Chains A and B, each alone.
Chain A
Amino acid sequence: MTSVGPPIVRRRRSRISWRATAIALASTVVVAGGLAWVVVNAPGWAEVQTDFLNGPIFWASLPGLIAAFGKNVELFLIAELLILPLGLVIAVMRGLPGPVFFPVRLLATVYVDIFRALPGILVIFILGFGIPGLAIDGIPNDPFFWAIVALTFIYAAYVSEVYRAGIESIHPSQDAAARSLGLTRFQSLRHVVLPQAVRRVVPPLLNDFIGLQKDTVLVSFIGVVEIFRTAQIKEAALFNFTPYLAVALVFIVLTIPLARLTDWLVARDKRQRTAGSAR
């Protein structure tokens, strides 16, 4: 992180760096300003402003939307708690070696193939309307329940692939070394491979978590009233699209800090590992 070299070189570097920053800033102002100018002078700008950027409607709808967002938070927190272990189990199932485990591998592969192939909205529709429609005694028909099941099934497929990539990124010599120390296959997986693998895939896991947060709006299609549906109700009552903008803002406010947290975690992890090797 610290600059190296004699003071004069350092000073020149810093001057070049500041010039680059100034140029970048000027160019950004020109581009962004130009875009803004085009938008503001578009023939439909006034109309778009009333229909999409309506201040009073924005502030009037925001509290209700934030309250409705609680439903989304419930959805993605419960689902994420189920997705992480299920995805890990599927990833381990797919990685089991030997002919005996062929059916297990096949099952896991078919599961991942199917749930990654299906558009999420279809899974939500089929589970949310189809299974309650069978009217089997004892099987819940609450759409909230089926929303969580559907999101868990969809995202566990993606997350299992992330885990699998992590597991496969661990060099086979790690496993071999562990086995040569007398650890069983399971012990080696549990104590040597998985701890390293999971640490490596934290950023892509958080990436999928952000995807999950956004996909919670899909469950509105089976009748769960959450933030998107609440915005839609307001939109249709007023014939004004501003509530959607408020929804967008809520998601941005949620996901951007999470993205920065991911960056920070990755940087910290890298620092800790390289600090060890530099000594």
Chain B
Amino acid sequence: MHKTTILSIGLIAVLAAACSGGAASPSAAPTSAASATPAAVVSTAPSVAPSPSPDACAAANLTLTTSGKLTIATDNPAFPPYFAENADGHKTSPWALGDPTNGQGFESAVAYALATKLGFTKDQVAWVYIPFDNSFKPGAKTFDFDINEVSFTPARAQAVDMTDGYYVVNQAVVSFAANPIAKVTSIAALAPFRLGAQVGTTSYSTITDVIKPTVDPRVYDTNDAAIAGLKGKQIDGIVTDLPTAFYMSGAQLTKGTVVGQFAAPTGANAEHFSLVLAKGSSLTTCLNGAIAAITADGSLAAITKEWLSDKASAPVFTP
């Protein structure tokens, strides 16, 4: 008993010393290099990032995870309309639903458009499956950039590099047509309903910050789990981004409906999707340049129109 106590005290003392020794330099190393990148610049229209020199962003000169390949990450399953299944039904391992490698679906199309702008051929693009959480964990990244409907927030940009936006996103509520929530037309009227969202999404923040419901929202790991909750009448509606809401009501729910969408965000605070890169990645400025280029030549608008064009048909909530 005696000895154990002394040993424990000694151990704690050593650990405490180790911790305090480390804490002396709290945020020194990882952030210093990154301040040079303009990832924190928020704008609806992507700003034209001044690239150091045209050559630095040429495919041959980029520092890549796998040399000669642009490795792009996304989550699996990759859901429509951001990714699309192959028309003939074949699957490319490991992709369970949408197949990122086919260039179909909004994010796949954007990824290939960006890769082309950087000078990669379609064969030089490799896709890897990275769960959402793993895209921002510390340590070496196994991808060059991650495209996974990640909304930009300044707090997130502290941990990783986030590019300028490639899509301005607005949130929507989806439910069954038979649920009383389906008749709601204003944000205030949503408050008494039990809502659900996927954990860690800006959809969840929409519930807590915009709707401010009178009953606690339920939070799920995936949108699929939220759908299970909706089917079990554990929630009245799911808050998600508008394109996903249309996919849910059309493909995942029978007699589902998009109750409404929140007014399209504008200005500097507009919520937008950004690519995620390792903090301080040399690719960030190059991708910002590529995003600016596909915006300027209209190809981003064409891709958006092709894959996310249902936008107009959902009513906008009044305050």
Contacts and interface: CB of A to CB of B under 8 A. Distances in A.
B247 interface: no
- The interface size bin for chain A is 35 or more
B139 to A, nearest CB: 6
B80 interface: no
A141 interface: yes
Given A133-B228, A236-B200, A33 B218 contact: no
Contact of B3 (A24, A44, A135): A24
Contacts of B30: 46-47, 50
A126 to B, nearest CB: 11
Contact of B7 (A24, A45, A238): A24
Contacts of B133: 235-236
Contacts of B228: 129, 133
Nearest to A46: B29
A237 B150 CA distance: 11
Contacts of B28: 46
A142 interface: yes
A223 interface: yes
Contact of A236 (B25, B160, B199, B229): B199
Contacts of B51: none
A233 B14 contact: no
Nearest to A52: B138
B22 A49 contact: yes
Contact of A44 (B15, B138, B217): B138
Interface of A: 17, 20-21, 24-25, 28-29, 32-33, 36-37, 39-40, 44-55, 128-129, 131-133, 135, 141-143, 220-225, 229, 232-233, 235-241
Interface of B: 2-3, 6-7, 10-11, 14-15, 17-19, 21-23, 25-31, 132-133, 136-139, 153, 155-156, 158-160, 196, 199-201, 204-205, 216-221, 225-226, 228-229, 231-235, 279
Minimum-distance CB pairs A-B, first 6:
A236-B200, A132-B232, A36-B18, A223-B218, A239-B159, A46-B29
